[in-house]
Chain A
Amino acid sequence: MLKFIAKRLANYVVMLFVAVSFTYFMASAFMHPRSVYESRTPRPPQDSIERTLDLANLNDRTPVLERYWNWLTAIVTRWDWGKSPTLESVNSAIAPRVLASTELVTLSTVLSIVLGVALGIYTAQRQYKWQDRMFMVTGTLFMVIPSAVLALLIVLMAIAVNDTVGFRMFYVTGLSSYTGDDIGLRLLDFLQHIILPTISLTLLGMVGYHLTQRTYLLDELHADYVRTARMKGLTRRQAVRRHALRASLIPTGVNVAFSIASVFTGAVITESIFAINGLGRYFITAINQSDINASVAIAAFGGVCTLTGALLADIFSAWLDPRIKMS
């Protein structure tokens, strides 16, 4: 088992290195931090532009390989992910934003897993009945609806509710606005902020679990061993709970392992609609300011999260299914 994990881990580290390097070269080819200064009015003196770009290791007159080497050695030796074109450190900008993203996404991830799987189990046992059809239609709707549309419609509804009740029940921007010391009020304030983005993320996230769990459980419900269990005298409920459900939770578990990664990278659209300063919003700011180092750092962080999820999924499925270790 340890050898299997070590082999996978080594492969993932190489992959991450190649992918992040590729991202660095792509970002360097397509982003022009020089334009940030050249488009300013009044235009800064040429020497000052060159000096700033040199300091940030972003000068496009330096060969890209040299810049890449400087960037790489800084990361390996000092864990320094570089500077933005305005010479702010990327390291110190990322940490608080990861925290904000985590705050935002954790609750909705847990909710979408629990609600989605529960709904999948419920509908699978009522295949083609009206409950199944109804949830299927609403599920399909939430699967195809662009996340921006859903979030904006939720904001619209919340504003209407606020207008009707006459005071601010829901806040539509940020994660907190209370500045006092009272714990209860602070919690209430946090809930008032977090509830709308959580609803929007949960509705979008639970569809995947609902539909896949329904399919997995339906596959198992028609398997021979479930019929055998029924014939041995188990009630339908017992057969489902003790046999079919357990087997059908394995692939869902793998999916859950993958989705843990997305907790830290946040949700770009939701963050920008609800004005939450998370990693996703930071990324959009970064590419709009031609901030090569920040964009690559975010991409690298995303890559680490993806591969951690993949490794978790590997371990999880190897632990449950001994055949995988052999191959």
Chain B
Amino acid sequence: MSEASVSANASAPKAAPESKEGKKEVKHLSYGALIARRFFRQPSAVVGVVLLAILVLFALFGSSIAQWGYDEPDFLSLSGAPSSSHWLGTDPGGSDLYALVVHGLGKSLLIGVITSVATMAIAAIYGTAIAFFGGWVERIGMWILDCLLVVPSFLLIAMLVRAANATAGWIWLVIGLTAFGWVGYARIIRTMTLSLRERDYVKAAHFMGVGSFKIILRHLVPNLASLIIINTVLGVVGAVNSETALSFLGVGIKPPDTSLGSILQTGQSTIQTAPWILLAPSVVLILLCFSMQLIGDGLRDALDPNSAAGGKVGA
């Protein structure tokens, strides 16, 4: 408390003459521009964005500078160490690790983003709907949510994905991760909606005869936008983690397709003879998850009116 008031006093005399001299027009800032300004004011968030941008560019265009495709093994170099022709070495099957990592990163990103968006869409609609209707709908809805939380979701996802994806590939991974991933988020969103449904504008819309689903989509979901956006960004980390775990256990992505988790699985078997197979996907995964987390934290601070990211007076 005392520190804050002291620093406010100290900065007041400095700020005062500036505001007298520069009689600038008050510039109108749109909400988006305000959030962007508050977001980019945080060094950690900028680091996150830069890291993510590099990774996305790497996933999109990394294959065009590669000398090998991820599905064309070089049988003259099995488990080869990094060299001029294979920049990151090769795996026991002779596949170029650089090409594998580029392809796997793309797949992990794709799965992570699609899963997170789909998960949050279901959670937002379900959570707001049961809170909005209240009464027995809410009671039954909550009971279903609790029921789905009883059995650890990882087990259900693994069961579904392992059984189904022998033919259909990574789409089933997304479906499985989405089908059981939304439950926890729906509970959070329901709790947030409980206070929203009592607001005057929701009641007004209701009494004017606006349909329930229109109210949910027009009034309730947009008011939870900040929460939903933050959870979507952070949800990517969770989805990438689950995907890595499943593929690592041999339940997720299957060869010839590859993801960072399945490269790790290959690397585990050769951990003593060819440790470089492990290092490249590990570093990429850590960077990916860390950058997403930094962006999510930055967004949370930017969207939170009480946070320190609002900057000092006058800024």
- Cβ of B10 within 8 Å of any chain A Cβ, yes or no, is no
- The one of A31, A272, A295 that contacts B155, using a Cβ cutoff of 8 Å: A295
Contact string against A for B residues 219-239, beta-carbon threshold 8 Å, 1 for contact and 0 otherwise: 000000000000000000100
Q: Which residues of A are found within 8 Å of B290, using beta-carbon distances?
A: 140-141, 144
Query: Which residues 117-176 of B sit at the A interface, judged by CB distance below 8 A?
Result: 143, 146-152, 154-156, 158-160, 162-164
Contact A146 B155 (CB under 8 A): no
Mark contacts of A2-44 with chain B using CB atoms, 8 A cut-off: 1 yes-contact digit, 0 otherwise: 0000000000000110111011001100111000000000000
A152 and B282: CB pair below 8 A? Answer: yes
Inter-subunit contact B151/A269 (CB<8 Å): no
**How far apart are A239's CB and chain B's nearest CB, in angstroms?**
14
* Interface presence of B268 (CB below 8 A): yes
Give the total of A residues in contact with B, Cβ under 8 Å.
44
B184 interfacial by beta-carbon distance below 8 Å: no
Is B272 close to A, CB under 8 A?
Answer: yes
Q: What CA separation (Å) do A147 and B249 show in the bound complex?
A: 12
Inter-subunit contact B289/A144 (CB<8 Å): yes
In the bound complex, residues from chain B placing their C-beta under 8 Å from that of A306 are 149-152
CA distance A290 to B294 in the complex (A): 40
Instruction: Tell whether, in the assembled complex, residue A272 and residue B264 are in contact, meaning their CB atoms are under 8 Å apart.
Output: no
B108, closest chain A residue (CB): A146
Closest to B290 in A: A144
Q: Quick one: which of A280-303 are within 8 Å of B by CB?
A: 283-284, 287-288, 290, 295, 298-300, 302-303
Q: Point out the residue from A268, A295, A298 that lies within 8 Å of B249, measured CB to CB.
A: A268
Is A15's CB under 8 angstroms from B286's CB?
A: no
- Closest chain A residue, CB of each to CB of B245: A269
On chain B, which size bracket covers the interface?
A: 35 or more
Judge if B267 is at the interface, Cβ distance under 8 Å.
yes
B248 CB-CB contact with A under 8 Å: yes
Of the candidates A144, A148, A290, A307, the one whose C-beta lies within 8 Å of that of B293 is: A144
The reply to whether A295 and B282 form a contact with Cβ atoms under 8 Å apart is: no
* Inter-chain contact A146/B249, CB cutoff 8 Å: no
A155 at the interface (CB under 8 A from B): yes
Structural contact, B150 and A19, CB atoms closer than 8 A: yes
Task: Indicate if B42 sits at the interface (CB-CB under 8 A).
Answer: no
**Contact between A303 and B154, CB atoms less than 8 A apart:** no
Contact B289 A30 (CB under 8 A): no
| Chain A at the B interface: SS class | helix
* A298-B155 in contact (CB<8A): yes
1/0 contact string of A300-317 vs chain B (CB within 8 Å): 101100110000000000
B267:A15 contact, CB within 8 angstroms: no
**In this assembly, does B93 line the interface, its C-beta being within 8 Å of a C-beta of chain A?**
no
**Segment 133-165 of A: residues with Cβ below 8 Å from B:** 140-141, 143-149, 152-153, 155-156, 159
Interface residue A265 (Cβ < 8 Å from any Cβ of B): yes
Main secondary structure of the interface of B (DSSP, over half): helix
Confirm or deny: B77 has a beta carbon within 8 angstroms of a beta carbon on chain A: no
Alpha-carbon separation in the docked complex, A156 to B278 (Å): 9
State whether B248 touches A269 (Cβ < 8 A): yes
Query: Residue-by-residue, is B270-308 near A (CB-CB < 8 Å gives 1, otherwise 0)?
Result: 011001001001100110011011100100000000000
B288 to chain A, nearest CB (A): 9
Residue pair A288, B159 in contact (C-beta under 8 Å): no
Which residues of chain A come closer than 8 Å to B147, judged between CB atoms? Answer: 15, 18-19, 22
Are A146 and B151 closer than 8 Å at their CB atoms? no
A146 (CB) vs chain B CBs: closest residue: B244
Is B310 in the interface zone, CB < 8 Å from A? no
Min CB gap A19→B, angstroms: 4
* Neighbour of B282 across the interface among A32, A149, A159, A268, CB < 8 A: A149
A28 CA to B56 CA, complexed, in Å: 40
Does A111 lie at the interface of the complex (its beta carbon under 8 Å from any beta carbon of B)?
no
Known A19-B147, A19-B150: A152·B267 in contact at CB below 8 Å: yes
User: How far is A307 from B152 in the complex, measured between Cα atoms in Å?
Assistant: 11
Question: Is A273 positioned at the interface, with any CB of B under 8 Å from its CB?
Answer: yes
Mark each residue of chain A from 257 to 290: 1 if its CB lies under 8 Å from any CB of chain B, else 0.
0000000010011001100000000011001101
Could you tell me if A307 and B292 are in contact, using CB atoms closer than 8 angstroms? Answer: no
B156 touches A26 (CB 8 A): yes
The answer to whether A155 and B150 touch across the interface, beta carbons within 8 angstroms, is: no
Cβ-closest 3 pairs across A and B: A30-B163, A144-B289, A19-B150
13 further A-B pairs in the complex, CB-CB below 8 A; given A152-B282, A268-B154:
A19-B147, A19-B150, A30-B164, A141-B290, A144-B237, A144-B286, A145-B289, A149-B282, A152-B264, A156-B275, A265-B152, A268-B245, A284-B251
Can you list 9 A-B contacts with CB-CB less than 8 angstroms, sorted by A residue number? A26-B159, A32-B163, A146-B244, A148-B244, A159-B271, A159-B272, A272-B249, A287-B158, A306-B149
Residues in B lying within 8 Å of A, measured CB to CB: 143, 146-152, 154-156, 158-160, 162-164, 237, 240-241, 244-245, 248-251, 261, 264, 267-268, 271-272, 275, 278, 281-282, 285-286, 289-290, 292-294, 297
